[in-house]
Structure 1
Amino acid sequence: MKPYQDCGPITSGLNRAFGNKEPWQVAAITATTVLGTVWLWTFINQDESLFVRGKRQFFHLVKKLPVVRRKIDAEISKARRDFESEISKSCNDLSWSLELPANGLSRDEILQLVDKHLNIGHYNWREGRVSGAVYGFKADLVELITEVYGKTSYTNPLHPDIFPGVCKMEAEVVRMACTLFHGDANSCGTMTTGGTESILMACKAYRDYALETRNVQRPNMIVPRTVHAAFDKAAQYFKIHIIYVDVDPKTLEVDVQAVKRAINSNTVLLVGSAPNFPYGTIDDIEAIAALGLKYDIPVHVDACLGSFVVALTREAGYKIKPFDFSINGVTSISADTHKYGFAPKGSSIILYSDQKYLNHQFTVTTDWPGGVYGSPTVNGSRAGGIIAACWATMMSFGHEGYLEATKRIVDTSRYIEAAIRKIDGVFVFGKPATSVVAIGSKVFDIFRLSDALCKLGWNLNALQFPSGIHICVTDMHTQPGVADKFIADFKASVAEIMKDPGQPVEGKMAIYGMAQSIPDRSVVGDVTRAFLNSMYFTPAKN
């Protein structure tokens, strides 16, 4: 029997096509076809769509045109000069140290310099003029944690045999937080340096967990469009494709059905916010957790902003949707102790429902000549003083102290929200859950209001897509008269703007509106990098 005689027309066609070819030609055509097919499959089968990649490549090529490149470079250079000029002006009354002093300064000299550096800001945060940033400040607490930090400033939990007491403090901070967020005996976690690191650690843990348990080689995570930018940072750091899901335009909560449609075999994490940063709304965590259980995917709740306030809002007498470990399917929570835990900056917590996830957060090196090396978070050496100061703050406040603070903050937030809803020309985004009130306008450019309030000494957060501003209410705003002053200035500013609502925004605030209109987002990124570089500006040495 002749080989392949039963293969029919396909074999006959191939024989005719290659009948007159040399063997090397057949081999070359075969190899080219196989490699081309593999390349095409790889090109098409990527996490990003052809449209997104094509758009990015188009702008990349356009920016290579000399006339375009020169224009962009000129604008970025101008932006950087403007940033540096502003920093230089703000430091006019200070001298610059460009090298070590020949002889060390005295204690009094150093403290005088510190006071001068702290007094050059434009906003009085101590009087509650700032959105977020400083969440609480009490003289007696500052005195306490200053003393605690002084005692523990040189401790390092990297050496648990030398500083076992600091390690115990960290363990207690984690356990107290687990209890606050309704974790059971299996719940666990670590402290970190801030919300971003807490989020980074969760993403790293779930990437590695999926690799070990499901051999996921091309991980993705599904997040609301309003989720904190730290998730994008984690995606960049750990090569996790991030899939953004839009939120409902009215409720500002993530579209759970869209989350469901986005899930695939490479999904390693689902995320919800409690609350989100832009609008202060809480996603439907119960529905997201149900998807996590159905598809066996971990669910992370980002409560960095809400922290202890969101944990205690229901106990304080307000209605709030469930979001924590009381929901079956929630596997981790991030929360910032340096926000509504009122601890000094540089402390946060990442909590897990089970140690199997926490184990994948850890980094272990077994074959280093310096010995077996393991670390729970990004840092090796960690500031024991910050751990001790956080522990001392929590011990000082106690449950009742935090509950009373929650009542003050949520009461003030609702008071401000109710007043704003009565003002013509503006609206409140969604239904704020705890302490963030976001404002927009369909009548005038909302950044005009931000600029007007800025000139009156208020510092609010600017939002984009769509344009908006928000105030994050802290314990600083609960001081007598602060909320009423804000409302009065808000009303007066809106009334003035409404005299000519069509007038365009001018000055620095115009940059926010312009930035949203630039289709090539890499240009916005270049300007942002120029700003970040300017933060490290020092004048040239004479």
Structure 2
Amino acid sequence: MPQWSQLAARAKPGPRTQLVLQRAAQLGSLFRLVIFLKALLGLYRHVYAYGITGTSRQIYGALKNVFVRIMLRMPSARAQIAKELAKTRAELSSKIAPKTLPPGVELEDVNELPESGRNIEWLRNEWTNMAKLDRGDLEAGRVSGAVYHGGDDLNVVINEAMSNFIVSNPLHPDVFPGVRRMEAELVSMVLKLFHGENGAGTTTSGGTESILMSCKAHRDWARAVKGVSAPEMVIPSTAHAAFWKASQYFGIKLHVVPVNPRTRKADVKKMTRFINPNTIMLVGSAPNFPDGIVDPIEDLAALARKYKTGLHVDCCLGSFIISFAQRAGYSDGLPKFDFSVPGVTAISCDTHKYGFCPKGSSIIMYNSPEMRRYQYYVMTDWAGGVYASPSMAGSRPGSIIAGAWAVLNTYGVDGYTLSAKDIIGAARHFKLQLQNRFQDDLFVIGDPLLSVVAFGSDSLNIYAVGDRMSKKGWHLNPLNSPAGLHMAFTKLSAASVDQLLDDLGECIAAEKKEPESGGNLVALYGVGQTAVGPHVVGKVAEMFLDTLYEV
């Protein structure tokens, strides 16, 4: 029997094997070195962009979040928070999904599929009573944004157009060629409004999908053209929440840069520090949602050209307001914002806002057909055949496209010019009155020039004022950073601007006389300022979403 030393000698690798193992070890070391250097480069870029102070704040915030999560897991804290959240859940249910119906409204509970189909009389009775649940102050123009009503006559046109294309689906253009043609014409009309004669676009279900599609397209473009495998985008802090959603959905690192605290515009100089070879796109708004401020698009476009990145201009809210502002006589102070500016690679426009189209209608546009192709999804080897779709959805409602096409043809340039004149005029009147009539109590945030006016206060709890306005039937949007409220004027609310000012004056006087400590906005704001605020508010938001599906 061989000795162990002999067996070991036989098992010892030969010179060639030793060389292979040595080379493999060297390659492994080199690979680890590359990973380390890549991580070091990423760390350098991060610290360069955020600075030592900013990076330290981020580390402190991350550690604080870990500590708070540990504290919230303690039995006493969990019990207290559960108790408070139970109250909040009950309040949400009573407001959003009340168990009792208002006087004069009778509805039958429908929690499962009926054994036999209902007749048309039953259906009409049910939907008539459900319509009575809608807030009566919608028609009175007391809501900020939300209801972009083009008039009863326009609704007749929309209903008729949609009824002719109920079963149509653009996924099958060979079966529904009419809807295909309407969609192409709809995109073309909007492109030309934004000086995109040589560009391309698609319809989407809304502003969020338009923004998501742009981020996806820029990511895939940067991967194919620039070889970017770790995509990043740079946005101002006032950009739409959909960019945060796109970051999470598509694995794009997000850099959020504070805006200028006085003008509330994107700080181009600060944004420059965050650009590196992995940057796929910059973002500007025209206008942004919180403050109604138009970012310096021309400066951002120059930056995009210099660093060879994309630039998305979010015109979802501005839509047919900013594109008609000049025709309406309100071009003063407004920068160029569309495809007439070299460097703009994508624009999102919500036709279902100031275009007055049916909800679920938005357009995402690109500066070239080549750029649009990076938005597409194509699968060539699916068992069901070749699958290709232009956007997130597969099947899409052709009726929405038909309704939008009908609205644009009904309104025309003259109609949209007149509506822009009325809406911008009301917003500017509101801003002027805030600056003159309420200058001791309120301040206008930035210098809004279009349909949205935001305001705050140095002397009053602005959220308490918002609560008082809610009791008067007004629905103003609460804002963070800075604390404030905003009004997005529409055709309905433009006619109610003087009543809004009068009611605001009464609420300010009442708040000054007897400051309010309770109220929904006040309470939520108070919670948000504590260390556990973001965690608790997040739970409240989840409860709100859960409540939407209560029956």
Normalised by the length of structure 2, the TM-score is: 0.87
Aligned residue identity for 1:404: L
Change beyond 3 A, Cα 1:217–1:71: farther
**Do 1:248 and 1:254's aligned partners in 2 also have CA atoms closer than 8 Å?**
yes
- Correspondences of 1:93-112 after superposition (within 5 Å): 93=102, 94-112=107-125
Deviation of the 1:263 alpha carbon: 0.6
Is 1:280 matched with 2:286?
no
Aligned to 1:8: none
Aligned to 1:528: 541
CA distance in 2, matches of 1:36, 1:333: 42
Which residue of 355, 366, 371 maps to 1:341?
355
Q: Secondary structure at the match of 1:221?
A: strand
Aligned to 1:158: 171
Is 1:312 matched with 2:321?
no
Deviation of the 1:37 alpha carbon: 11
CA distance in 1, matches of 2:31, 2:355: 59
CA distance in 2, matches of 1:336, 1:515: 34
Is 1:380 matched with 2:422?
no
Which residue of 523, 526, 529 maps to 1:514?
526
Aligned to 1:412: 426
Aligned to 1:461: 477
Q: Secondary structure at the match of 1:191?
A: strand
Is 1:233 matched with 2:237?
no
Aligned to 1:389: 403
CA distance in 1, matches of 2:490, 2:260: 27
Aligned to 1:296: 308
Change beyond 3 A, Cα 1:33–1:147: closer
Deviation of the 1:73 alpha carbon: 3.5
Deviation of the 1:282 alpha carbon: 0.5
Q: Secondary structure at the match of 2:70?
A: helix
Please list the CA deviations of residues 454-478 of structure 1 after superposition, one character each: whole Å capped at 9, or x if unmatched: 1111111111122111110001123
Change beyond 3 A, Cα 1:337–1:430: same
Which residue of 472, 476, 497 maps to 2:488?
472
**Do 1:464 and 1:516's aligned partners in 2 also have CA atoms closer than 8 Å?**
no
CA distance in 2, matches of 1:95, 1:439: 44
Is 1:75 matched with 2:84?
yes
**Do 1:123 and 1:129's aligned partners in 2 also have CA atoms closer than 8 Å?**
no
CA distance in 1, matches of 2:391, 2:539: 30
Aligned to 1:434: 450
Aligned to 1:425: 441
Q: Secondary structure at the match of 2:513?
A: coil
Aligned residue identity for 1:338: H
Please list the CA deviations of residues 200-243 of structure 1 after superposition, one character each: whole Å capped at 9, or x if unmatched: 00001001111111221111110110111011111111111111
CA distance in 2, matches of 1:41, 1:157: 45
Is 1:64 matched with 2:77?
no
Aligned to 1:452: 468
Which residue of 210, 213, 219 maps to 1:201?
213
Please list the CA deviations of residues 138-177 of structure 1 after superposition, one character each: whole Å capped at 9, or x if unmatched: 1111111111111101100100101111111111111110
CA distance in 1, matches of 2:62, 2:84: 26
Aligned residue identity for 1:148: A
Give unmatched runs, 5+ long, in structure 1. Answer: 1-26
**Do 1:124 and 1:130's aligned partners in 2 also have CA atoms closer than 8 Å?**
yes
Aligned to 1:149: 162
Q: Secondary structure at the match of 1:89?
A: coil
Aligned to 1:365: 379
Which residue of 252, 255, 280 maps to 1:268?
280
**Do 2:527 and 2:536's aligned partners in 1 also have CA atoms closer than 8 Å?**
no
Aligned residue identity for 1:417: K
Please list the CA deviations of residues 486-527 of structure 1 after superposition, one character each: whole Å capped at 9, or x if unmatched: 111111221222224xx2431212233124303342332222
Q: Secondary structure at the match of 2:353?
A: coil
Alignment RMSD (CA, Å): 2.4
Normalised by the length of structure 1, the TM-score is: 0.88
Deviation of the 1:442 alpha carbon: 0.6
CA distance in 2, matches of 1:527, 1:92: 24
CA distance in 1, matches of 2:91, 2:502: 33
**Do 1:156 and 1:384's aligned partners in 2 also have CA atoms closer than 8 Å?**
yes
Aligned residue identity for 1:445: N
Give unmatched runs, 5+ long, in structure 2. Answer: 1-23, 47-54
Is 1:485 matched with 2:502?
no
Which residue of 192, 199, 204 maps to 2:204?
192
Deviation of the 1:103 alpha carbon: 2.3
What fraction of aligned residue pairs are identical, expressed as a percent? 41
CA distance in 1, matches of 2:409, 2:303: 37
Aligned residue identity for 2:114: P
Q: Secondary structure at the match of 1:449?
A: helix
Is 1:402 matched with 2:402?
no
**Do 2:524 and 2:537's aligned partners in 1 also have CA atoms closer than 8 Å?**
no
CA distance in 1, matches of 2:321, 2:139: 20
Aligned residue identity for 1:328: P
Number of corresponding residues:
506
Q: Secondary structure at the match of 1:370?
A: coil
Aligned residue identity for 1:208: D
CA distance in 2, matches of 1:475, 1:535: 28
The more displaced of 65-74 and 204-213 is 65-74
CA distance in 1, matches of 2:225, 2:389: 22
**Do 1:412 and 1:478's aligned partners in 2 also have CA atoms closer than 8 Å?**
yes
CA distance in 2, matches of 1:299, 1:166: 31
Q: Secondary structure at the match of 2:358?
A: coil
Please list the CA deviations of residues 311-334 of structure 1 after superposition, one character each: whole Å capped at 9, or x if unmatched: 111121111211111111111100
CA distance in 2, matches of 1:323, 1:443: 36
The more displaced of 342-351 and 509-518 is 509-518
**Do 1:281 and 1:433's aligned partners in 2 also have CA atoms closer than 8 Å?**
yes
Aligned residue identity for 2:158: I
**Do 1:195 and 1:304's aligned partners in 2 also have CA atoms closer than 8 Å?**
yes
Change beyond 3 A, Cα 1:157–1:524: same
**Do 1:465 and 1:516's aligned partners in 2 also have CA atoms closer than 8 Å?**
no
Aligned to 1:10: none
Deviation of the 1:52 alpha carbon: 4.6
Deviation of the 1:39 alpha carbon: 7.7
Change beyond 3 A, Cα 1:182–1:38: closer
Deviation of the 1:248 alpha carbon: 1.0
CA distance in 2, matches of 1:398, 1:34: 62
**Do 2:464 and 2:519's aligned partners in 1 also have CA atoms closer than 8 Å?**
no
CA distance in 2, matches of 1:40, 1:511: 48
CA distance in 2, matches of 1:52, 1:200: 28
Please list the CA deviations of residues 239-267 of structure 1 after superposition, one character each: whole Å capped at 9, or x if unmatched: 11111111111111011100111111111
